[in-house]
Structure 1
Amino acid sequence: MASVYRSLSGTKSKEGATSEKGNDDRPKNRQRLLILSSRGVTYRHRHLLSDLYSLLPHSRKDAKLDTKTHLNQLNELADLYNCNNVMFFETRKGKDLYVWLSKPPNGPTIKFHCQNVHTMEELNFTGNCLKGSRSILSFDKTFDGQAHTRVIKEMFTHVFGVPQSSRKVKPFVDHVMAFTMTEGKIWIRCYQIIETEASKKDKSSSDSTTTTTTPTLKTPSSTGHGETNISLIEVGPRFVLTPIVILEGSFGGPVIYENREFVSPNQIRSDLRRKKAGRYNSRAEGALEAKVRKRDLGLRTGEGRRTVDELDSRRVFA
């Protein structure tokens, strides 16, 4: 069966591959990814990590890291497991998720704030891509506009791009990972590629104006028996990344980019608490001023002096 598969797929045997090994000068994509998290992750963050691990066959999952301050230990872990990419999930206060992407041992390192996390099990979409298959990376043209966005795009290419020579990869490309940048945030979506042969009803309906829920594309069939409709169905997961800083080294070094518009969730919660406290203080001060005003007018019994009017009964009938 192996010879039949090689003859149909067009691959060469080991003898032929070794004979032409010296003539093959194409660069090989040798990327391995280490995925791990810190202590205190929630169930949603843990399921997101599992979803990414299932979508990336060139990744390796490790146990939780005990420290949040000495992140340079991740370089030693990556060297131990022979990985040249690291994805680290750091959780703060059991609610805020930060994603670190690094290229050990020389860097760079990008820190993101992860929001709007929705896992595959939670979304329950109808799309279902093959486990271990490769993906097509689709980037928005906004990534080519600035220097730091080009660095982010290159990092995403190394982390999410599954190499063809990976050990667990299967020879199929059946899903697309889309990266879209709007308002300084990166929206990540995953879609399954579905190919169906166009029937006569589809050809007749294509002549009339109709609306479809999923984008479709007509391409000539590889078997030569007509056209095929290519559509995309979302698989999941969904999450949004906000870049914070880019470091020159691997989990350290000088800062080469900093997002000045980013506001930490701790600051947002502090402002909300201060706003609520301000409303309470204003109400308390208003109540105190009302009491003082009533006391000055003599409307409170036993407090303040009440001025006696000339027409008061105590003066008229004195």
Structure 2
Amino acid sequence: MASLYKAVSGTKRRREETEIEKESKSNGTSNRQRVLMLSSRGVTFRQRHLINDLALMLPHAKKDSKFDTKSKLYLLNELADIYNCNNVLFFEARKRQDLYVYMAKAPNGPTAKFHIQNLHTMSELNFTGNCLRGSRPIVSFDRTFDESPHYKLVKELLFHIFGVPKSARKAKPFVDHVVMFSIVENKIWFRNYQISESIDTAAADGSALVESEDKKASSKKKQLTMSLVEIGPRFVMTLISIIEGSFSGPLIYENKEYVSPNVIRSQLKTGKMLQKRKRSFVVENKKIKKSLQEKEFRETEPDPLADNIMFA
């Protein structure tokens, strides 16, 4: 019976896939995106929870074990080829406090590198919103993505990674949440919202005594309200650079305004060191001034216990 059930379910699954392919061919569009998702060693517990939250949001993603090396990133193209993925989402952790993400189109590129800041996971936020696991999202972009060519390229990368195709095996045929990307102060903000619908039934029942059936339907349509409730996670990405190839090739864009967190930490350390030196310099000056005042007092007024005064 088990083998018979597997055979029947397999044929049913193939029939559904062929129907989806026919629909895509008739519409003239085919979205076959698969994402390889993995991280480097040294990620913290918050970063690991963020990666797990994103993996639950992407049913067309294949999550792999941690990648050992940080220098030979071009080997990720071979991994993507093994898992039959054409997108790579690689999280790189440095010094157990900085998180970088690479978004690449395998095997030809391009590759965009981002620095993730202000990350908050679902378990930390405890928002009231909720969505079906494996459902397809509406990917929304800010208008500023179309104003510059490098942000247009980033928009395509984000759409290919976070846009769940219909032909994904684990995807559910529902659209119940919105993934929003917006640019504020030259940073990309990520938010995830639930689409919640509510009907004001009290007003519809009160007006049902007077209005006809057609008017009832129209009033109910008018009273259907839609709102967005945040689910999580949330984080902010800063674009660092864009490479022409997949983890290799010439640099086609570099953010000149980006400042590395190592530089910021070194500046804070030097500032604290200068403040400490200033305080020690002030203490030394006070000691010198006090000793000079005591010396002047001794020179101006004779000591009453001196020998020439006591035995004069």
- Equivalent of 1:173 in 175, 179, 188: 175
Q: Measure, in 2, the Cα distance between the counterparts of 1:254 and 1:179.
A: 27
Correspondence 1:126-137 to 2 at 5 A: 126-137=128-139
Residue in 2 that maps onto 1:209: none
Q: TM-score, normalised by structure 2?
A: 0.83
Alignment of 1:94-109 (within 5 A): 94-109=96-111
User: Is this contact kept in 1: 2:24–2:30, CA < 8 A?
Assistant: no
2:62 is the alignment partner of 1:60? yes
> What secondary structure does 1:171 align onto?
strand
The aligned counterpart of 2:287 is 291
Alpha-carbon deviation of 1:230?
1.3
1:39-85, Cα deviation, whole Å (9 max, x unpaired): 01011111111111111110010000011111111111001100000
Give the drift of 1:195: 1.9
Change (3 A) 1:283 1:247: same
Deviations 1:263-294 (A, max 9, x none): 11111111111111001111112222232333
Aligned to 2:220: 226
Aligned length: 282
1:153 match: 155
In 1: Cα distance, 2:130 partner to 2:24 partner: 40
Q: For 2:290, give the aligned amino acid.
A: K
**CA distance in structure 1 between the partners assigned to 2:155 and 2:284 by the alignment:** 59
User: Cα distance, 1:132 vs. partner?
Assistant: 0.9
Q: CA offsets, 1:234-290, max 9 Å, x none?
A: 111111111111111111111111111111111111111111100111111222223
Secondary structure in structure 2 of the residue aligned to 1:99: strand
Compared with structure 1, are the counterparts of its residues 165 and 263 closer, same or farther at alpha carbon in structure 2 (3 Å cutoff)? same
List 4+ stretches of structure 1 deviating above 4 A: 16-23, 311-318
> Which residue among 17, 20, 44 is the counterpart of 1:42?
44
Q: Distance in 2 between matches of 1:225 and 1:113?
A: 49
Q: CA RMSD in A?
A: 2.7
The one-letter code of the counterpart of 2:124 is: E
Matching of residues 1-318 of structure 1 within 5 Å: 24=26, 26-201=28-203, 226-227=220-221, 228-299=224-295, 306-309=298-301, 313=304, 318=312
Q: Which amino acid aligns with 1:226?
A: K
Distance 1:65 1:163 in 2: 27
CA distance in 2, matches of 1:164, 1:247: 30
The separation in 1 between residues aligned to 2:205 and 2:287, in whole angstroms, is: 81
Which whole-Å CA distance do the structure 2 matches of 1:50 and 1:20 have between them? 34
The secondary structure found in structure 2 opposite 1:194 is: strand
Q: Separation in 1 of the partners of 2:276 and 2:205?
A: 67
Who is 1:213 aligned against? none
Q: Which amino acid aligns with 1:173?
A: V
Distance 1:61 1:225, change over 3 A: farther
Distance of 1:95 and 1:159 partners within structure 2: 25
How far off is 1:26 after superposition?
0.9
Structure 2, gaps ≥5 residues long: 1-14, 207-216
1:121, CA displacement in angstroms?
1.4
- Structure 1 stretches lacking a partner, 5+ long: 1-12, 205-222
Q: 1:64 to 1:169 in 2, by over 3 A?
A: same
Tell me the SS of whatever aligns to 1:136.
Answer: strand
